Chain A
């Protein structure tokens, strides 16, 4: 992993909606963070904590009202060309992305992004096929209307629409919201695979600790517009009580181990997934 040039770098970033009107609303303040190239970062926080507002800064859809943001070291609001480049470099998958589908066929919808980039026909075709393959949509669905697909399939098509632009940073806003457990696992493992295979930087927004804990290497916790905590899973989940106070739960198994220790059981380690928990328990019982 290369960490020399940060993929995303915010310093003292703040955002106020509708400033100077009676509707002014400070949604973010004093955000300072660093996402290294190739990292898989989780962004968590309660509803309304400012996650969506923050990530819209990452591809220049919102401009900070305070502080600065740099993507791959460049000031993204410097000029029109940088802005365009940023929108292509940083792929942003919104919450409920299936609501943005509009074309007559799956294939056409996914090609919307690459076509806007002004690529040649063959290049567009190659990218669309690759993106749809990545999310597991077969060629037999290419000519279907996106509106006749199932909820989970629609979402995967919408994600492919962003992937087809081949961004170097991929941001997903609550990609599993409203899906059944199976749909959730499919989406999350697809994202994990993309990160590992393509070597891209991924920021995963979620309010589910379970989702985050399983996949990410670093966690940023947001609370009412500010960064509450950031660090590795161990650092962030170490204090389950503090997280509880801001309306978040550490993964069930982490809390289980903390409770066991509080009850006087001398069991080492903090697991984040059921798999890790079973291993730790197994070891503990063997000794």
Chain B
């Protein structure tokens, strides 16, 4: 099977990559919550430093991190513009027609923008440095206490694992079908929106048929091996916290403490 980038995992051999996925998940989550506690510029500087150091250590090229901004670009633009133009308060900076920009608006825009960017950076650093399978394991672990509340943590994890397992297969399949139809003269690139939508039919129908066939086969194979979702099971790869995780925990805690401190001093 050819290797296909699933989600956006960037395989490398950095200290960040080798951290326990559960720790990384909890840490990113905490960081994101932290972001909403920051009220002043120094807080953002500390948070940005934390992310910058993490990115540097992870050896993930900056371009991969920046790429994640593309997805939220519109949202980012919107947030910044909204805050900048419609937030009266402070001194008037300039006026252009009916638009007035005040200092308060500018600083709000900068804060909201930084918050959004840091949020995206931290979550993409998590997915860039953690393989999807590890991430699923971590999510299952985090959800385990919810089993008491009848949340089917194991089933959710199994569904996610299966979905992740089949993404590359389906991508590969789609690539193949697309090529096969191109070889029959199909054109997926030119034409208006209606023509483009119609040109997807020869692609989507075979893709769905194959997805259903695979689902059927997989269900049969799991059945044949007596799979029961509620059966207690052990893990093949046991996640264990190492000294490295504790060291990272220390560093993260120091940064988080500093971020909180900027709020009160």
Contacts and interface: CB of A to CB of B under 8 A. Distances in A.
Interface in A60-117: 61, 84, 87-88, 91-92, 94, 97, 99-102, 112-113, 116-117
A101 B183 contact: no
Contacts of B180: 92, 94, 97, 99-100
Contacts, number: 64
B184 A165 contact: yes
Given A25-B2, A99-B210, A102-B202, A94 B179 contact: yes
Contacts of B201: 102
Contacts of A61: 179, 182-183
B207 to A, nearest CB: 9
B3 interface: yes
Interface stretch (B4-12, B137-145, B253-261): B4-12
Nearest to B203: A102
Given A22-B11, A25-B3, A99-B206, A94 B176 contact: yes
B187 A162 contact: no
A194 B206 CA distance: 28
A97 B206 CA distance: 11
Contacts of A59: 183
Given A22-B10, A94-B176, A112-B202, A100 B185 contact: no
A99 B177 contact: yes
A116 B179 CA distance: 15
Contact of A102 (B4, B12, B185, B205): B205
A117 B3 CA distance: 35
Could you say which interface size class chain B belongs to? 20 to 34
Interface string A7-38: 00000000001000111010000000000000
B179 A113 contact: no
Contacts of A100: 177, 180-181, 184, 202, 206
B196 to A, nearest CB: 15
A225 B49 CA distance: 46
A50 interface: no
Contact of A22 (B12, B181, B186, B205): B12
Given A88-B185, A116-B187, 7 more contacts: A22-B11, A92-B183, A99-B180, A101-B206, A112-B185, A117-B185, A162-B183
A97 B177 CA distance: 9
Interface of A: 17, 21-23, 25, 56, 59, 61, 84, 87-88, 91-92, 94, 97, 99-102, 112-113, 116-117, 147, 161-162, 165
A165 B5 CA distance: 35
Interface in B1-42: 2-5, 10-12
A151 to B, nearest CB: 13
Contact of A94 (B2, B12, B183): B183
B2 A116 contact: no
B206 A116 contact: no
A28 to B, nearest CB: 14
B142 to A, nearest CB: 28
A92 to B, nearest CB: 4
Contacts of A102: 201-202, 205-206
Contacts of B5: 21, 23
Contacts of B177: 99-100
Interface in B158-216: 173, 176-177, 179-187, 201-202, 205-206, 209-210
A99 B178 CA distance: 11
A88 B183 CA distance: 8
